[in-house]
Structure 1
Amino acid sequence: MDTYDVIVIGAGAAGCVVAARLSEDPERRVLLLEAGGHNKRLSVKAPAAFSAQFGTKLDWEYWTEPEENLFGRSLHEPRGKLMGGCSSMNAMMYVRGNRFDYDSWAAEGAAGWSADEVLPFFTRSEDNGDLAGPYHGRGGPMHVETRDPDPVARRMVDACVEAGFERLTDLNGAQQEGVAFTQVNQKRGMRHDAATAFLGPARGRPNLTIKTGALVHRVRLDGGRATSVEVSFGKSLEQFGADGEIVLCAGAFGTPEILQRSGIGPAEHLKSVGVPSLVDLPAVGRHLMEHPFQFLNWELVGDDIGLSDLSHPKHLARWLATRKGKLTSNVGEALAFFRTDSSLPAPDMELVLAPLFFWEHGKREHPRPAFSIGLSYVAPISRGSVMIASPDPGQKARVSLRMLSHDSEVRALVAGVHKAREIVSQPAMDGMRGAEINPGLWVRTDEAISEYVRHTVEHTYHPACSARIGSPEDGACDAELRVHGVDGLRIADASAMPTITRGNTHAPTLMIGERCADFIRNPARVATAVA
């Protein structure tokens, strides 16, 4: 059995960070295991092609159990199964969340995770091509920039300003509330995913081993310590030992699955599916959070057609030759944050402004040019679960989002629909605004909009909190990301978030990876800070 100092499970956003940072020490032998394959694919590199990956071999392709509050619909949850994980599949939006999120984490017991304390771990990763100052970094591995937006997106931003939004240049600075063009993880017209940014410079290190096609069955425990990982490569089953630590970075679905298959989780549930319970942690697989996402669409009239001709071969030819043009769009070219209730402590709604028709994960088409506004409800209170149905690693867990379990969430989305319509009615959209496609002018009353939302709402591809920081009664790991009741095992991905952040989850996941690597590299400093 080959043995390493650290084994990192999952080469998603955080896993790439952890493996790259820990392998900076030439004396530390690091193994990174990834179930998928390489990220050198056109649909990965060309930013606007991200949704083409959904439902392919690059997608774990989870589907939720029938959602009781959504008329029994099962929702597709794409998850990246390749180097870079979801950072190689997402829409590249670099949004850290709101200061209130992190200060709430700290206030609720996650010591060391306040906004001021996590900021250095955001800036450490960042190489921002546009913004500087105390909120941003230069020279880090992950490139961040604002691309030149489509004219339709510019008009949509102008309309937001006319509707009362403050025009911002930075949604990751002192103020989140307002509207701005999206900061994206791109470099030279291509996606800059975590595998490229962090592992690219690290691949030549002799102390870093990367194995793809590695399906992790379970972490093996010996005397209360995580000592090895059981992995299959096709039909071959292997074990790898860890002298130091094992870090779970398999995502909000994969991490609780592996914990449960390892006998770490709700004891009664594990026994019911044939897994011996070794460490009873009731919260493993519980507290799953996701941002509900409601799209609205309008037809475009006039000369500007937005990205409606994105699939034309001329755009691919231009991108291949110059890395410029419409294929460099991340689709959600501008973002706006606001409060649906002025009494709220922070924005609860994110608007995603897109100069094309987007519906059903980008699979549905419309015969005429169109634009979209997506409503991401970033302050949900519903909680779901991720529970294995058997010890078989080839069988996906049962995922229940239990989305919109509370009427207040629906009311917020209804308010968002009204706000989106107000924005589109502004003078900036005159001469461009066509017929409303979805929901349509006949869906006008709050009651009708509420029903429409439950019939059509999706999610923002942001599952989180399923193996969260918390006490042994309500969490899976402590504030240093150590799994309760197990030595030598940590969690570093979006599943560790105590509550979901107000915004896209990629940037916070990178930050969690940076923090985990720092905990492992500097245990004496952490111990001193805690004392």
Structure 2
Amino acid sequence: MGDVLDADYVVVGGGSAGCVLANRLSEDGRSKVILLEAGGDDRLLHNPQQLISNIMITVPIGYAKTIQDPSVNWMYKTEPDAGIGGRSVTWSKGKVLGGSSSINGMLYVRGQREDYDGWRDAGCPGWGWDDVLPYFRKSQNQEAGEDELNGVGGPLNVSESTMRHPVAEAVVEACRAVGLPERDLNGPEQEGVSWFQLTIRNGRRCSASVAYLHPAMHRPNLMVISNALASRIMFEEGRAVGVEYWQGNARKVIRARAEIVLAAGSIASPQILQLSGIGPGSLLAGQGIDVISDQPGIGENLQDHYVVAQNYRLRAGVPSINELTHGVRLLGQGLEYLASRRGLFAMSSSHVAAFCKSSPELATPDIQFHILPATSKRSMKDNMKLELDRDPGLTIAPCQLRPESRGWVRIKSQDVRDHPAIMPNYLSAETDQKVVVEGLKWGRRIASQSPLKELVDFEMMPGDAINTDDELLAHARRAGNTIYHPVGTCEMGQGPDKPVDAELRVRGVSGLRVVDASIMPRIVSGNTNAPTIMIAEKASDIIRAG
């Protein structure tokens, strides 16, 4: 087994949360911290075997490649899901330093203040909006400047889009025409239309690794071990004391003097806990694993945002991003990026965000749109394919912000290399079915407004033949997909049925916390990366306070 390393804190998972934790827990210069990451190093000059993938991580448009690159992406497959016609969906999750922040669409969205007040009121004291806002601000370097909601000088750069495409401008005007005012999507009120804010700095991706980990890696009290697959937490008399992991075919162990912090994400965190004997007792016994703490909630409460694209063919001569991705125009965009760090290669996954209500009596929006003046050659059925059409197009893609459907993550063997079973149970709740239909109706309403309607030739998908609620729902079942926001599988809350308490300690054992998106009691009303970084910032203070 070799020599056993030791540290004060062992952080398992070098993704968005793990990078924050490694930085903050080691910044006193005294606490020894070891960060374990199952994937490789994301730095260009430190991992020649992964050079092309790391270039794709650095260049913003590279997400179109990393979304289908198994060298930096776990590419989990869900179980066949009856709610979406028995389909299995591929879930991208980062397998590299920076985790999913190294391969995502770089969209900075916090959600609604009501999300966090809802966490607090549901049994998570200290997690209301007023409690978490200082950590959003602390994490930020908002290029637009500081105000009561935004911070400057923090590690994570937040910028405005450098590409304001004329078709996207027409979308903004169309949204205004249907009563959605233009406003800051991270401002006091969410309902309306906005340009996405981006985690991009000087035309390059600003992942959690770039923001938090790279600046800290010179510290003598921080050790980062990549290509290290954690297989289980080790316990002595109910206390977490070490982590077993694999590097190649070598089994190794790290001992923790203070705490072990599990930050492996909403799939791997419950998987590692279950492999370690913490989880539903019947599941563990069925796999021959000794039960250390029977926690039925570990792996349950899985939530995700389910998106259904509406694709429009634009009129001949109307420019879109599609045409920039082929031939000499693509070469020109590459040269523009090299010269100015602008253009296609500096582009995020979406340009315009819109938030609206499926029903007027709702207090806050429950539908979000990701809108881009581009269309893929394939429908959203193939969520790993991002090759764009040659003819001009527009995608308007609604998702339900607060789904009621709940799924699960469960191990299938004692081997950590076997991906767990993932069952999203998409559209299993009646409310979700109604909201997805209303989202598609809203998308059509936007597309029918001037000045956008003058640019549209016809609706490609779902198409004019699909009109009734039943037809729209059937289309959503067969054509929708994940937007890569799984949360909730190590739910934070009060009571024995919640596996993690409000200080992120795992119930039934000591010396072990979970710090990542899996602790969210309910998914936030927006993209999940900024909230995950906030969670880790707040957790760092909780851990250091003892």
TM-score of Structure 1 vs Structure 2, range by shorter chain: over 0.9
Aligned to 2:458: 435
Alignment of 1:41-60 (within 5 A): 41-56=54-69, 57-60=71-74
2:371–2:396 Cα contact (<8 Å) kept: yes
1:338-363 Cα distance to aligned partner (Å, 9 max, x none):
11012223211001111111443343
1:476 aligns with 2:499: yes
1: CA distance, partners of 2:339 / 2:244: 45
Which structure 2 residue ranges, 5 or more long, are not aligned? 45-53
Matched, 1:21 2:21: no
Task: Tell me the equivalent position of 2:307.
Answer: 293
1:14·1:492 contact (CA, 8 Å) conserved in 2? yes
The answer to whether residue 366 in structure 2 is matched with residue 351 in structure 1 is no
Are 1:166 and 2:184 counterparts?
no
Q: Distance in 2 between matches of 1:45 and 1:257?
A: 29
Could you tell me which runs of 5 or more consecutive residues in structure 1 were left unpaired when the two chains were aligned. 524-531
Letter in structure 1 aligned against 2:435: A
Equivalent position amino acid for 1:416 in 2: G
Match of 1:38 in 2: 41
1:284 aligns with 2:298: yes
Q: How does 1:99-110 map to 2 (within 5 A)?
A: 99-110=113-124
Deviation at 1:364, TM superposition (A): 5.5
Equivalent pair of 1:386/1:400 in contact (CA under 8 Å): yes
Q: Which whole-Å CA distance do the structure 1 matches of 2:186 and 2:298 have between them? A: 31
Larger CA deviation: 471-480 vs 407-416: 471-480
Give the 5 Å matches for 1:112-511: 112-148=126-162, 149-168=164-183, 170-308=184-322, 309-311=324-326, 312-358=330-376, 359=380, 360-361=382-383, 362-363=385-386, 365-471=388-494, 473-511=496-534
**Contact 1:331/1:356 (CA < 8 Å) preserved in 2?**
no
Counterpart of 1:80 in 2: which secondary structure?
A: coil
Moved more, 498-507 or 306-315: 306-315
Residue matched to 2:47: none
Cα deviation code 1:416-441 (max 9, x no counterpart): 11111111111111442121111011
* CA distance in structure 2 between the aligned counterparts of 1:519 and 1:310, rounded to whole angstroms: 47
Is the CA contact 2:404–2:431 (under 8 Å) kept in the aligned structure 1? no
* Structure 1 residues 233-258: Cα deviation after superposition (integer angstroms, max 9, x where no partner): 00111000000111111000000000
TM-score (norm 1): 0.96
Inter-partner Cα distance in structure 2 for 1:107 and 1:260 = 29
More divergent stretch after superposition (49-58 vs 514-523): 49-58
Shift of 1:320: 2.8
3-state SS of the aligned residue for 2:82? Answer: coil
Q: Shift of the alpha carbon at 1:152? A: 1.6
SS at 1:91's partner residue? coil
Letter of the 2:77 counterpart = W
Q: CA deviation at 1:366?
A: 3.1
- Distance in 1 (alpha carbons) for counterparts of 2:114 and 2:131: 13
Secondary structure of the corresponding residue to residue 204 of structure 1: coil
Give deviations 1:448-493, integer Å, cap 9, x for gaps: 1111111111111000000010235332210000000111101110
Aligned equivalents of 1:321, 1:171: Cα separation in 2: 31
Distance 1:342 1:474 in 2: 35
Query: What SS does the corresponding residue of 2:31 show, helix, strand or coil?
Result: coil
Q: Which deviates further from its counterpart, 265-274 or 426-435? A: 426-435
CA shift for structure 1 position 384: 0.3
DSSP-derived class of the 1:201 partner: helix
* Preserved CA contact (<8 Å) 1:282 1:473: no
Say which SS state the counterpart of residue 83 (structure 2) adopts.
coil
TM-superposed deviation, 1:27: 0.6
CA contact (8 A) 1:283 1:473 kept: no
Letter of the 2:247 partner, please give it. Answer: F
CA-to-aligned-CA distance 1:189-237 (integer Å, 9 cap, x gap): 1110000000121111111100100000000011111000001000111
Deviation at 1:107, TM superposition (A): 0.5
Structure 1 range deviating more: 275-284 or 40-49 = 40-49
TM-score (norm 2): 0.94
Deviation at 1:131, TM superposition (A): 4.3
Q: Is the 8 A contact 2:178 2:446 kept in 1?
A: yes
Matched residues in 2 for 1:130 and 1:399: separation?
40
Q: Distance in 2 between matches of 1:474 and 1:306?
A: 50
Superposition deviation, residue 313 in structure 1: 2.4
**1:88-139 deviations in Å (ceiling 9; x for gaps):** 1111111111111111111010010001111001100000001431100000
State the Cα deviation string for residues 257-276 of structure 1 (Å, max 9, x = none): 00000000001110101211
For 1:529, the equivalent position in structure 2 comes to none
Between 454-463 and 352-361, the greater mean CA deviation after superposition: 352-361
> Is contact 1:151-1:304 (8 Å) kept?
no
Q: Offset of 1:365 from its aligned partner?
A: 4.2
SS in 2 for 1:436: strand
Greater Cα shift, 218-227 or 409-418? 409-418
CA contact (8 A) 1:219 1:229 kept: yes
